[in-house]
Structure 1
C-alpha cells in the first residue's frame, strides 16, 4: 500500500510545470508571429521601394512635407522661398542630404538624417520639375570621375578653395554660416551645388564653368575622396595654421620636456 502511494505521489505534476508549459507555448507563438510579421513587412518595404513612384505621388509628398513653407503651388511664403525655376536638381541636393525639410530657422540648413527614400526624392523632384522647370540631372559621363584631375584641382583652387579649403575640408564663414566638408559628398550633389548655388554658394553656369570644367572639378574631388593624404596624418586638412600649432605644441613641447629632463638628471 505504501509503495502504491509513493508511486502516485511521484507521478504527480507540479502546478509550476503547467505554468511553465503555458509560458513556453506563448513565447513560441509570439516569436513565430513576430518573425512572420517582420518578413511580411520586409517584403512590403522591398516591393514599395522597388516600384517607381509617379509625379502624383511626388505631389502628395510635397503637400504633406514641404507646402507649409513653400506653398501648395511652390509660390513660397514668409517661412520659405519660392521654388519656381529651382528644378529637380535643387530638390535632389536639399532633400537627399537631409537639409530639407528644415527643422528650425538657422543661418544655414544643416545636414541631418534623410527622411525620404531615393524613390520619394525623385518623385518630389519630378513634381517640382513638372510645375516649374529648372536645372535637371546631367549625363552619367559628367559624374564618372574620368575628367582631368589636374585641371579640376586648379579650377577648384581658383573658384572654391577660399570657402571649402583646398582639400575640400570645409571652413567657417560669417554670421554662423559655413562651407561644408566635401569628403563625403556624392558626385551628383557636387554637380547640383555648382548648378543651383545652395545656401551661400554662387551659381556656376556654363559661362563660369563649362560642363567639361564641372566634370574636371568633380573628378578632382572624387580623387581626394579615394586617396589618403600622402604626407601621413592630415590634421583635418586645415592648412598651415593647424600644422604650425601641432609643431608648436608637440614639437617644441617635446624639446622643452627633454631639456628639463636632461637638466634634472645632471643635477
Structure 2
C-alpha cells in the first residue's frame, strides 16, 4: 500500500519533504563551525608554542632579574605587569627586539614627555638590557633580537641602496641623514646607528616608523639595507663637501649664496683693479 503525501494548500509544497536550501544551509553552517574551531585551536597552539620558544631563549634567572629591573624602572609608566597605563603603552607582545632597541639607544626610559623619545646615552648595561628584554619576551610572543648574520653588513650594498631609496629615503633621506616630520617629530640620522638597532627598528616600528615584517622586507633584504647604510657610514662623499647630506635644497642654497656671491665679489675686484 502506498501512502499519499498531502499538499500544503497555502504554499503549494509537499509536507514532510525538506527544502534543498535547508540542506545546503546546514552543510554551510557545519563547515563554518568546523573551520572556525580549527583556526582558533591552531592560532592558540601557535601562540603557546611561540611563547614557550621565546622563554626558552632566555634563562629563568634572566627573566627574574629583568622583572625586578622592570618593576623599579619601567612599571611607573608601563604598569607592574607591562599592561600599560595612561602614561605608557602596553609592552605585552612587543618582543625582546623592541626592548633592546628602545633601551639600548637610550630612548627609554624617557627623560621627559615630548613628541617622540630622543636618543641619549643608555642608563643600563648590556647585561641589564638583555634581562629586561628576556622578561618582556616571556610575557607574550614578539620580534626577537636578530642574528648577527643579518646585522654585520655582509649583504649586497647595491640591492640595499635600491630598497632603502624605495622604502626609507622619503623620511631618512637617501644618505640616511634624517629629516623633519610633522608635529615636531623627526626621522633620526642613521650615520652612527648599529646594524642590530637598524634591524630592530625595521621589525618593531618605533615612533612614526612603519613595521617592515618579513612579508614586506625579507630578513636578507633587511641585511642588504644594513650593508648599504654601513657602506655610506664608512665612505666619504665622492663629490667633495657633502653639506651634511641634507639634500638638493641645501646644495642649491649654498650655490646661490656662496657661489654667486663669490662671482660677484670677483667681478667687483677685477673691475676695481682695472680702474
TM-score normalised by L of structure 1? 0.79
Check conservation: 2:148, 2:196, Cα contact below 8 A.
Answer: no
Deviation at 1:107, TM superposition (A): 0.7
Q: Residue 167 of structure 2 aligns with which residue?
A: 159
Segments of 4+ moved more than 3 angstroms: none
Deviation at 1:263, TM superposition (A): 2.2
Query: In structure 2, which of residues 183, 187, 194 is the aligned counterpart of residue 175 of structure 1?
Result: 183
Gaps in structure 1 of 5+ consecutive residues:
1-52
Query: In structure 1, which of residues 74, 81, 90 is the aligned counterpart of residue 89 of structure 2?
Result: 81
Q: Residue 198 of structure 2 aligns with which residue?
A: 190
For 2:126 and 2:214, locate their aligned partners in 1 and report how far apart those are by CA, in whole Å.
28
Q: Residue 19 of structure 2 aligns with which residue?
A: none
Query: In structure 1, which of residues 37, 40, 59 is the aligned counterpart of residue 67 of structure 2?
Result: 59
Q: SS in structure 1 opposite 2:214?
A: coil
Q: Residue 128 of structure 1 aligns with which residue?
A: 136
Mean Cα deviation higher: 253-262 or 76-85: 253-262
1:22-79 superposed Cα distances (whole Å, 9 cap, x missing partner): xxxxxxxxxxxxxxxxxxxxxxxxxxxxxxx722111111111100000000100000
1:170-193 superposed Cα distances (whole Å, 9 cap, x missing partner): 000011000000010000000000
1:135-170 superposed Cα distances (whole Å, 9 cap, x missing partner): 002222111211111111000000000000000000
Q: Does 1:210 align with 2:221?
A: no
Check conservation: 2:159, 2:225, Cα contact below 8 A.
Answer: yes
Deviation at 1:95, TM superposition (A): 0.3
Check conservation: 2:74, 2:109, Cα contact below 8 A.
Answer: yes
Query: In structure 2, which of residues 65, 76, 87 is the aligned counterpart of residue 68 of structure 1?
Result: 76
Q: Residue 47 of structure 1 aligns with which residue?
A: none
Check conservation: 1:83, 1:132, Cα contact below 8 A.
Answer: no
For 1:140 and 1:127, locate their aligned partners in 2 and report how far apart those are by CA, in whole Å.
22
Query: In structure 1, which of residues 112, 118, 124 is the aligned counterpart of residue 126 of structure 2?
Result: 118
Structure 1 residues 221-232: aligned runs within 5 Å: 221-232=229-240
Q: Residue 250 of structure 1 aligns with which residue?
A: 258
Deviation at 1:264, TM superposition (A): 2.0
1:79-138 superposed Cα distances (whole Å, 9 cap, x missing partner): 000001101100001001110001211111111111001111111000111122310022
Residue-pair matches, total: 215
For 1:221 and 1:86, locate their aligned partners in 2 and report how far apart those are by CA, in whole Å.
25
1:184-227 superposed Cα distances (whole Å, 9 cap, x missing partner): 00000000000000000000011110111111111111111111
For 2:222 and 2:263, locate their aligned partners in 1 and report how far apart those are by CA, in whole Å.
47
For 1:87 and 1:233, locate their aligned partners in 2 and report how far apart those are by CA, in whole Å.
41
Query: In structure 2, which of residues 90, 96, 101 is the aligned counterpart of residue 93 of structure 1?
Result: 101
Structure 1 residues 5-16: aligned runs within 5 Å: none
For 1:124 and 1:144, locate their aligned partners in 2 and report how far apart those are by CA, in whole Å.
24
Question: Aligned-residue CA RMSD in angstroms?
Answer: 1.0
Query: In structure 2, which of residues 136, 148, 155 is the aligned counterpart of residue 147 of structure 1?
Result: 155
